[in-house]
Amino acid sequence: MFSILVDRYGRKSGIYVINLMQGASCIPLFLPASFTSQITLHVMAGVASGGLFTVIPTYIREINNSHRAVFLSLMVVMANAGYMTELIIDLEAMMFVMVGLVAAQFLSLLIMMETPSYLVKVGKTDIAKKNLAELYCLQVDDAAVSKELQTLKDEMDRVFVTKFHCFGILKNPIYRDATKIGVVLYISLVLCGSIAFLDHDKVLAQLKMTFGLEKTLLLSSMFAGSVFCLCIVHFVERKYILTSGFVIMALSTGVLAVYTQADLTVDSLQWVAVASLGVLVFGFGMSWGLPVVIMCEIYNLKIRPTMLGFLYTLSQLLKLIHVTTYQYIEDYMGLYIVMYIFAGVNIYAGVYSMFKIPDLKGKTVRQIERQLKRVPLLHFNVIKV
């Protein structure tokens, strides 16, 4: 829905709708608790979050090119900071904070501008040039503004798609290969084991221990991981960060698998298991926002919202299936076997990220597309074209 909206009416219009949905989702918080109000709250918040991970990344990517990864990663840090508020304020105070933040967002919309990329797409090049000059703090007739505008025009002219829906876009081999990367990354983040290790009570119960600060450990570790990613993403290739995150998760998940093995009682060095849980969540905090960053940089401006919406919808459908079936799988196999499977998923995702994600740092879309080759989902052989 949001992908169609931003394609037809602009990125700024999509953000307006997201803020309206967020504002509407605050209303049930102040109504008497009931089944209807809870369902309404979750539906509105879910729809708003769908726009949050499709429209906002698109807007950020198109409003700032030189520091795009930093600002996209900052969005992940702010999301984790929102989770951290659970540690310092109670539910009632959080409700008022949410209302205040939504109100601040509405005020900020007054100073927002439409992205130059969208304006070029719809043929409003004069307004696009003016917005580019404001973004770069330059004069409208500056050579750098004209060069950037020409780059956007060239990028749009290179899109050879007759029908701008998912199946029409995927007929293009370059976009199909890029989407393969996105599918693997999004699915890997769903199946990396977060459904198990973010449930700290279950993991610590399996470890036969508790220390009273489980929630603080998880939230602070995930926040620290996202901050670490933010600090290095401007200087390090995205694929190296993502690969490191998956390797950290694979190793930590393997340690937890050993400590939760039913027929293997490990009494010594219990702190290693707790430390592994914290390191595991740190690696997840490093990684969970990077697929959005990577796909925002890979896709052409003309198809970016549509394909981000497709990947997000695919990941949420898989997550729904995963959540519905996970408990049955765990009951049948045991937590430690499932942990070994998650470790294998993370190993595969790490190797895939290292060898299949193109270099993105400081690259234009055209330079990135030149690196894309045939990217098989299960094999690592490269077919030269």
Residue 237 pLDDT > 80: yes
Among the residue ranges 190-194, 338-342, 380-384, the one predicted with the least confidence is: 380-384
Give the model confidence (pLDDT) of 80-100 as tens digits.
888 888 777 776 777 777 778
Contacts with 75 (C-beta within 8 Å, 6 or more apart), sequence order: 56, 57, 60, 289
The CATH class given to the 166-371 domain equals mainly alpha
Question: How many other CB atoms are found less than 10 A from the CB of residue 256?
Answer: 28
Residue 201 pLDDT > 70: no
C-beta of residue 11 within 8 angstroms of C-beta of residue 54: no
Q: What whole-number distance in Å separates Cα of residue 59 and Cα of residue 17?
A: 14
Residue 381 pLDDT > 50: no
Range 173-202 burial, b when 16+ CB lie within 10 A, else e = ebbebbbbbbbbbbbbbbbbbbbbbeebee
Rounded to an integer, the average pLDDT of 354-366 is 89
Residue 116 pLDDT > 80: yes
- pLDDT reported for residue 265: 57
Residues of the chain with pLDDT > 70: what percent?
A: 85
- Of 142, 285, 278, 170, the closest CA to residue 226 belongs to 285
Tell me the angle at which helices 55-63 and 11-26 cross, rounded to the nearest 10 degrees: 140
- pLDDT reported for residue 160: 60
Contacts with 66 (C-beta within 8 Å, 6 or more apart), sequence order: none
Rounded to an integer, the average pLDDT of 49-73 is 84
pTM of this structure: 0.85
Residue 380 pLDDT > 50: no
Q: To the nearest whole number, what is the mean pLDDT of the chain?
A: 82
- pLDDT reported for residue 38: 73
Residue 378 pLDDT > 60: no
Q: What whole-number distance in Å separates Cα of residue 258 and Cα of residue 242?
A: 25
Residue 157 pLDDT > 80: no
Residue 141 pLDDT > 60: yes
Backbone angles phi, psi at 382, to 5 degrees: -105, 125
Choose from 7-11, 199-203, 354-358, 365-369 the range with maximum mean pLDDT. 354-358
Q: Apex CA 292: angle with CA 182 and CA 249, to 5°?
A: 80
Rounded to an integer, the average pLDDT of 173-192 is 91
Query: Which amino acid, one-letter code, is at 5?
Result: L
Rounded to an integer, the average pLDDT of 185-204 is 81
Rounded to an integer, the average pLDDT of 155-171 is 69
Give the model confidence (pLDDT) of 261-283 as tens digits.
755 555 666 777 778 888 999 99
Q: What whole-number distance in Å separates Cα of residue 267 and Cα of residue 138?
A: 65
Print the SS3 string covering 125-190: HHHHHHHHHHHHCCCCCCHHHHHHHHHHHHHHHCCCCCCCCHHHHCCCHHHHHHHHHHHHHHHHHH
Q: What whole-number distance in Å separates Cα of residue 212 and Cα of residue 206?
A: 15
- pLDDT reported for residue 284: 94
- pLDDT reported for residue 211: 54
Question: How many other CB atoms are found less than 10 A from the CB of residue 235?
Answer: 9
Structure tokens of 205?
């119960």
Residue 32 pLDDT > 50: yes
C-beta of residue 226 within 8 angstroms of C-beta of residue 80: yes
Rounded to an integer, the average pLDDT of 214-238 is 89
Give the model confidence (pLDDT) of 283-297 as tens digits.
999 999 999 999 999
**Which one-letter DSSP state was computed for residue 381?**
-
Q: What whole-number distance in Å separates Cα of residue 383 and Cα of residue 209?
A: 51
Residue 383: pLDDT band with limits 50, 70, 90 = very low
Structure tokens of 42?
């979750």
Residue 206: pLDDT band with limits 50, 70, 90 = low
Residue 368 pLDDT > 80: yes
Residue 382: pLDDT band with limits 50, 70, 90 = very low
Rounded to an integer, the average pLDDT of 224-235 is 93
| Backbone torsion region of residue 268, taken as left when φ is above 0, otherwise alpha when ψ lies between -120 and 50, otherwise beta | beta
- pLDDT reported for residue 384: 39
C-beta of residue 94 within 8 angstroms of C-beta of residue 86: yes
246 CB-side CA count, 13 A: 29
Among the residue ranges 12-26, 123-137, 257-271, 302-316, the one predicted with the least confidence is: 257-271
| Backbone torsion region of residue 235, taken as left when φ is above 0, otherwise alpha when ψ lies between -120 and 50, otherwise beta | alpha
- pLDDT reported for residue 163: 55
Residues of the chain with pLDDT > 90: what percent?
A: 25
